[in-house]
């Protein structure tokens, strides 16, 4: 049985998702949340296998919640389900650690299959999202990371969250995210772990330990 937490700030949408997923014989919806902050508390209490996460919500957005879950609960798979398919939204969500990214026009059977795939640790991307992500990653390589960008990435290598890196470097969390996205583009990667690995391989960061 795969346990699922549904996170969406629209009660009607959330209720529909919960009803459909709960009707699947192998899926168990253990909770629902209306924003990222509530989601973090419920993940800590319920420890679901998969979190179905909207992006734009009050109090705490989906990307921030995904980042915190990646740092504190790396075993929980987060599947983004949203109406937004801009390059910025996709890159931010994937960079934060999302296992998959689906759009809300996805057929419900496809959504259930995506939850199952996410629980297996597989990456699940809606076709338009995959096309945008590939296009973004195939963009011409930019210049080498700046000293500040490498400072931020060094914080990631030490296991710090974006907020902790910001406090250490006296910059805002939004600025940290911007630096990380630029590093991802320059290194041709799409997640924090891979960015650190490539930076070490290229001699931009010292090896761990």
pLDDT band at 202 (very low <50, low <70, confident <90, very high): confident
DSSP character for 53? Answer: E
Domains in the chain (CATH in brackets) are: 2-138 (3.40.50.2300), 147-202 (1.10.10.10)
Q: Where are the alpha helices (DSSP H) in 33-146?
A: 36-46, 62-72, 87-96, 108-119, 127-137
pLDDT reported for residue 138: 65
Q: Rank 25-34, 99-108, 194-203 by mean pLDDT and report only the highest.
A: 25-34
Asked whether residue 14 carries a pLDDT value surpassing 90, the answer given is: yes
State the residue for tokens 């699922």: 4
- The rounded percent of the chain whose pLDDT value lies above 70 is 94
Asked whether residue 204 carries a pLDDT value surpassing 90, the answer given is: no
pLDDT digits (tens, 9 = 90+) for 145-187: 999 999 999 999 999 999 999 999 999 998 999 999 999 888 8
Using a 10 angstrom Cβ sphere, with 0-12 exposed, 13-18 middle and 19 or more buried, the burial of residue 174 is: exposed
Asked whether residue 142 carries a pLDDT value surpassing 60, the answer given is: no
Q: pLDDT averaged over the chain? A: 90
pLDDT digits (tens, 9 = 90+) for 97-130: 899 999 998 888 999 999 999 999 888 888 888 8
Q: List the structure tokens of 153.
A: 């990435």
């Amino acid at each position: 049985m795969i346990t699922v937490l549904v996170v969406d700030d629209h009660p009607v949408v959330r209720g529909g998702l919960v009803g459909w997923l709960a009707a699947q014989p192998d899926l168990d919806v253990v909770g629902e949340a209306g924003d990222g902050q509530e989601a973090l508390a419920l993940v800590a209490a319920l420890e679901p296998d998969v979190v179905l996460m909207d992006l734009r919500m009050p109090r705490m957005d989906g990307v921030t919640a995904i980042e915190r879950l990646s740092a504190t609960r790396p075993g929980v798979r987060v599947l983004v389900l949203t109406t937004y398919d801009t390059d910025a939204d996709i890159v931010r969500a994937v960079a934060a650690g999302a296992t998959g990214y689906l759009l809300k026009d996805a057929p419900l059977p496809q959504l259930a299959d995506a939850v199952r795939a996410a629980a297996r640790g597989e990456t699940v991307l809606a076709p338009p999202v995959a096309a945008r992500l590939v296009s973004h990653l195939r963009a011409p390589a930019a210049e080498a990371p700046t000293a500040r960008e490498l400072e931020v990435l060094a914080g990631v290598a030490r296991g710090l969250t974006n907020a902790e890196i910001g406090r250490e470097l006296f910059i805002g969390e939004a600025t940290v995210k911007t630096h990380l996205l630029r590093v991802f583009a320059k290194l041709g990667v799409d997640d924090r772990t891979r960015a650190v690995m490539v930076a070490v391989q290229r001699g931009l960061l010292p090896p761990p330990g």
